[in-house]
Amino acid sequence: MTVVDNAVYVGGERDSEPDSLDSTLELLRERDGEGGFAWIGLLRPDQTEIDLLARELSLPALAVEDAVHAHQRPKLERYDDVEFVVLRPAWYVDEDEDVQVGEIHLFLGHDFVVTVRHAETPELASVRARLEDDPALLALGPRAVLYAVLDRVVDDYRPVVRGLRHDIDQIETQVFGGDPSVSRRIYQLSREVIELQRSVDPLREVLEGLLAETADDLDRVGLHRGLRDVADHQAQTSESADNFRQLLGNILQVNAALVGQRQNEEMRRLTETSLAQGEEVKKISSWAAILFTPSLIGAIYGMNFEYMPELAWTLGYPFALGLMVLVSLTLFLVFRRRGWL
């Protein structure tokens, strides 16, 4: 059974608690024109229950289809004597940095209000209890229920804003701390902010319509003031979400600049290291060339062939040594002038 709570209210007081939807609908027919209204709260209703309510309460087919399939944006639609409202409550799962979004659909008639939830959160028992503690407000009928549910949904955005602000503060620390994984976190958090905006921003149009209806109604001055307060909170949340989105975009740009700067510094260090290694290679190559010439001359004259030029020459030995010194000194001076040594 998906009926969470089911009651009939008269004069702002809980008058009866029918044990089934059929009983509630029968009671409404009996009380037709006598005042009061029924508040039926459903959680993930099945097709049979939705069809029963649609048939007995003359709910519009398009709105019923939306309520069954969910995944709607916040909106307020009017179908003759029935109003259909979609709200998207949100809550923040800090450990996953994830904005979870549910849906609440409300059907409002002159003597009934049906709330259809598609998620466990938020529960509306506290909303019902708050209204029952304020009979003067509850006596205003289905619009009072809509106001109270709106107030709860918008108030629940505040913890989401606090959670996002806390995580953005952490991200700023990560960015300037050089954490390489922060880019992914910035992108994911940006997506969560967008998800919050999709729930909050469309509510402005809904609230503007409700405020316009109650602006000149002397019997619903308190309701108008309450709706205006909800609209203020919605505007604050919307502004915060927009600021978060811009801030995360700026942080992403700053992070990209810092990553580029770190990469440039790393490239500079690698270049300096490469240049230093090149200088060392030049020195090693120069000394190898200098030492190679004496080794070459010594190797040639170290061959034990009987017939070799200048082999029997008296000055052959000092000439070979002088040649080694002369060539080595010449190479040394050449390499020194080029800066290799």
Q: What is the spatial distance between Cα 252 and Cα 153, in angstroms, rounded to a whole number?
A: 31
DSSP string, 3-24: EEEEEEEETTEEEE--SSHHHH
User: Within 31-140, where are the H helices?
Assistant: 47-57, 61-69, 125-132, 135-138
- The pLDDT of residue 1 is 47
Whether the bond between 122 and the residue before it is cis, its omega within 30 degrees of 0, is yes
Tens place of pLDDT for every residue, the chain, 341 residues?
488 888 889 888 888 888 788 888 888 777 765 678 999 999 888 888 888 888 888 898 888 888 887 788 899 999 888 999 999 999 988 877 788 999 999 999 988 999 999 888 888 999 999 999 999 999 898 999 999 999 999 999 999 999 999 999 888 888 887 777 788 888 889 999 999 999 999 999 999 989 988 887 767 788 889 999 999 999 999 999 999 999 988 888 888 887 777 777 778 887 777 777 777 777 777 777 777 777 777 777 666 666 666 666 777 777 777 877 887 788 778 877 877 77
Query: Cα angle at 233 between 230 and 236, to 5 degrees?
Result: 150
The residue type of 309 is: P
Question: Please, which residues have CB within 8 angstroms of residue 308's CB and are 6 or more apart in sequence?
Answer: 301
Sign of the Cα torsion 279, 280, 283, 284 reads negative
Cα–Cα distances in angstroms (integers) from residue 64 to residues 46, 50, 108, 126, 173, in the given order: 12, 7, 12, 26, 48
Nearest CA to 116 among 50, 208, 161, 184?
Answer: 50
Q: What is the spatial distance between Cα 268 and Cα 279, in angstroms, rounded to a whole number?
A: 16
Strands (E) in the chain, as ranges, are: 3-10, 13-16, 37-43, 75-79, 82-87, 90-93, 98-101, 104-108, 112-117
Q: What is the 3-state secondary structure (H, E, C) of 176-188?
A: HHCCCCHHHHHHH
- The pLDDT of residue 111 is 87
With beta carbons less than 8 A apart as the criterion, state whether 324 and 293 touch: yes
Question: Please, which residues have CB within 8 angstroms of residue 294's CB and are 6 or more apart in sequence?
Answer: 324, 327, 328
The residue written with tokens 């309520």 in the block is 67
With beta carbons less than 8 A apart as the criterion, state whether 128 and 41 touch: yes
With beta carbons less than 8 A apart as the criterion, state whether 40 and 23 touch: no
For the chain, domains (ranges, CATH) are: 1-153 (3.30.460.20), 278-337 (1.20.58.340)
- The pLDDT of residue 293 is 74
Helix, strand counts (H, E) of the chain: 11, 9
Q: Which backbone phi and psi does 282 adopt, to 5 degrees?
A: -60, -45
State pTM to two decimals. Answer: 0.75
With beta carbons less than 8 A apart as the criterion, state whether 202 and 237 touch: no
